[in-house]
């Protein structure tokens, strides 16, 4: 029985809180040795009181990234959970890999932006990239021990967000308050807005492409409003495996920590009699263009996924500040993508430059 010594980057966020819950639930298997917050010192102090041995770091300020890198490379750590919103976790993730540590990735943005670089570095160092996003964790479980040549399609499930049934004409009037009411998951603000635009699922398509080394054409999305089936894999014989559980991020976090083993916990089991039915429907790709934009970015590759991700981050922040409309999020992303000349086979420097360019371009378009 192996105990994992875990650093949590972004310990004060929604994933960070769930990860601390997992650590309390399976103390024989998970010990928290480091935690970061960006600016919420009080919440980090409280977390530190709960896990007194853990080293703490605040990542805002000029030396912030260095502090994250220091935590990510702590000699006593063997797994680093990247639970930072946006792309701030990229450098610490690469540093953790270089230091020979496995990483558990909740921050899908870093795989969208630099999936090739992260997965390539992990392969070279022989460390594991464990998916925490519930969909990718589900696919990871379904693929376990199977030959990737046997896979026909990865099928990501999407809740459809709060506007699944809204007429397209009403989307122009969506407010941040309405977008922040997710039907099934309770998450941080950015990912909740991403779930409402379906950019979250678009980012996840690109994330899946890198995590599982499949081309975009074999990554599909199906809307499943109950969020009980977390994703599925279809094999070449048309058999489909799915992973199901109650809607709680503690499940994928625990599996990333205890992998390849399973251990009992206090999480609730599914009650199929109460569930009664599971629904599936095709996503409204014309009304929510995020999925097509993500497919275009993922198929083109190079610097385009980083551009999509950066423009989306800027636009979501503007929407949350009420500086732009809800449809302006995808309209801005599309315009910035159209103005970008993607650099094929881009290295990390080109990707970072594209990210900076896209943020500036999106800001100019929005303000």
Residue choice 12, 254, 303, 332 for contact with ligand NAP (CB under 6 A) = 12
Residue choice 71, 93, 95, 187 for contact with ligand NAP (CB under 6 A) = 187
The rounded distance, in Å, linking the Cα atoms of 268 and 248 is 9
- DSSP code, position 270: P
Q: From the CB of 38, what's the least distance to ligand NAP, in Å?
A: 3
Residue nearer to ligand NAP on the CB measure, 93 or 106: 106
If one asks whether residue 204 binds ligand NAP (CB under 6 A), the answer comes out as no
If one asks whether residue 191 binds ligand NAP (CB under 6 A), the answer comes out as yes
Partners of 243 in beta bridges: 231
Residues of span 305-324 touching ligand NAP by CB under 6 A = none
Q: Among residues 36, 118, 45, 39, which one has the least CA distance to residue 81?
A: 36
Strand segments (E) across 239-341:
240-244
Stretch that binds ligand NAP, among 8-16, 95-103, 152-160, 229-237 (CB under 6 A): 8-16
The rounded distance, in Å, linking the Cα atoms of 340 and 309 is 13
If one asks whether residue 69 binds ligand NAP (CB under 6 A), the answer comes out as no
Residue nearer to ligand NAP on the CB measure, 10 or 301: 10
Residue nearer to ligand NAP on the CB measure, 13 or 327: 13
If one asks whether residue 80 binds ligand NAP (CB under 6 A), the answer comes out as no
Judged by CB under 6 A, the number of residues near ligand NAP is 27
Residue choice 185, 218, 267, 328 for contact with ligand NAP (CB under 6 A) = 185
Classify strands 240-244 and 229-235 as parallel, antiparallel or unpaired. Answer: antiparallel
Considering Cα of 52, then 53, then 58, then 62, what sign does the dihedral take?
positive
Stretch that binds ligand NAP, among 37-45, 291-299, 328-336, 357-365 (CB under 6 A): 37-45
Residue nearer to ligand NAP on the CB measure, 192 or 303: 192
Residue nearer to ligand NAP on the CB measure, 55 or 152: 55
Query: 197 with 204: CB under 8 angstroms?
Result: no
Residues 6+ apart with CB under 8 A from 205: 156, 216, 219, 221, 291, 294, 295, 298
If one asks whether residue 254 binds ligand NAP (CB under 6 A), the answer comes out as no
If one asks whether residue 174 binds ligand NAP (CB under 6 A), the answer comes out as no
Residue choice 22, 23, 33, 37 for contact with ligand NAP (CB under 6 A) = 37
Residue choice 5, 6, 7, 13 for contact with ligand NAP (CB under 6 A) = 13
Q: From the CB of 282, what's the least distance to ligand NAP, in Å?
A: 23
Query: 212 with 154: CB under 8 angstroms?
Result: yes
Q: From the CB of 339, what's the least distance to ligand NAP, in Å?
A: 25
Residue choice 7, 71, 107, 310 for contact with ligand NAP (CB under 6 A) = 107
User: Cα 207 vs. chain centroid, distance in angstroms?
Assistant: 8
Query: 304 with 339: CB under 8 angstroms?
Result: no
Using CB atoms, what's the residue nearest to ligand NAP?
A: 13
Residues 6+ apart with CB under 8 A from 342: 300, 301, 302, 303, 304, 307, 354
The rounded distance, in Å, linking the Cα atoms of 350 and 306 is 10
Cβ-in-10-Å burial (0-12, 13-18, 19+) of 341 comes to exposed
Cβ-in-10-Å burial (0-12, 13-18, 19+) of 48 comes to middle
Query: 210 with 115: CB under 8 angstroms?
Result: yes
The rounded distance, in Å, linking the Cα atoms of 102 and 344 is 28
Q: From the CB of 105, what's the least distance to ligand NAP, in Å?
A: 8
Q: From the CB of 63, what's the least distance to ligand NAP, in Å?
A: 12
If one asks whether residue 356 binds ligand NAP (CB under 6 A), the answer comes out as no
Structure token pair of residue 253: 């976090």
Q: From the CB of 1, what's the least distance to ligand NAP, in Å?
A: 27
Stretch that binds ligand NAP, among 79-87, 222-230, 318-326, 340-348 (CB under 6 A): 79-87
Q: Give the binding site for ligand NAP (CB under 6 A).
A: 10-16, 37-40, 59, 83-86, 88, 106-109, 133, 185, 187-188, 191, 249
């Amino acid at each position: 029985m192996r105990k994992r010594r875990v650093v949590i980057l972004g310990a004060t966020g929604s994933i960070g809180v769930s990860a601390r819950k997992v650590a309390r639930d399976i103390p024989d298997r998970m010990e928290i040795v480091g935690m970061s917050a960006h600016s919420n010192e009080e919440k980090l102090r409280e977390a530190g009181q709960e896990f007194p041995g853990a080293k703490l770091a605040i990542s805002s300020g000029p030396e912030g990234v260095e502090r994250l890198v220091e935590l990510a490379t702590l000699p006593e750590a063997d797994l680093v959970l990247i639970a930072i919103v946006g792309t701030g976790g990229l450098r610490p993730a690469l540093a953790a890999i270089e230091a020979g540590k496995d990483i558990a990735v909740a921050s899908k943005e870093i795989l969208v932006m630099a999936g090739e670089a992260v997965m390539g570095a992990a392969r070279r160092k022989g460390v594991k990239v464990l998916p925490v996003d519930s969909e990718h964790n589900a696919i990871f479980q379904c693929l376990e021990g199977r030959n990737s040549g046997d896979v026909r399609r990865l099928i990501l499930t999407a809740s459809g967000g709060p506007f699944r049934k809204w007429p397209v004409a009403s989307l122009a009037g969506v407010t941040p308050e309405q977008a922040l009411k997710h039907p099934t998951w309770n998450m941080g603000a950015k990912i909740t807005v991403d779930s409402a635009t379906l950019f979250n699922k678009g980012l996840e398509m690109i994330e899946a492409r890198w995590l599982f080394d499949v081309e975009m054409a074999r990554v599909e999305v199906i809307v499943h409003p109950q969020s009980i089936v977390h994703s599925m894999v279809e094999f070449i014989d048309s058999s489909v495996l799915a992973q199901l559980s109650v809607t709680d991020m503690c499940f994928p976090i625990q599996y990333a920590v205890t992998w390849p083993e399973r251990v009992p916990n206090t999480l609730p089991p599914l009650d199929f009699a109460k569930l009664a039915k599971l629904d599936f429907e095709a996503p409204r790709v014309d009304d929510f263009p995020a999925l097509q934009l993500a497919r275009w970015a993922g198929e083109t590759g190079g610097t385009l996924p980083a551009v999509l991700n950066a423009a989306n981050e800027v636009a979501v922040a503007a929407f949350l500040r009420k500086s732009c409309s809800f449809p302006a999020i995808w309209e801005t992303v599309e315009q910035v993508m159209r103005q970008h000349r993607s650099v094929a086979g881009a290295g990390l420097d080109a990707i970072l430059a594209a990210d900076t360019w896209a943020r500036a371009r999106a800001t100019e378009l929005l303000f």
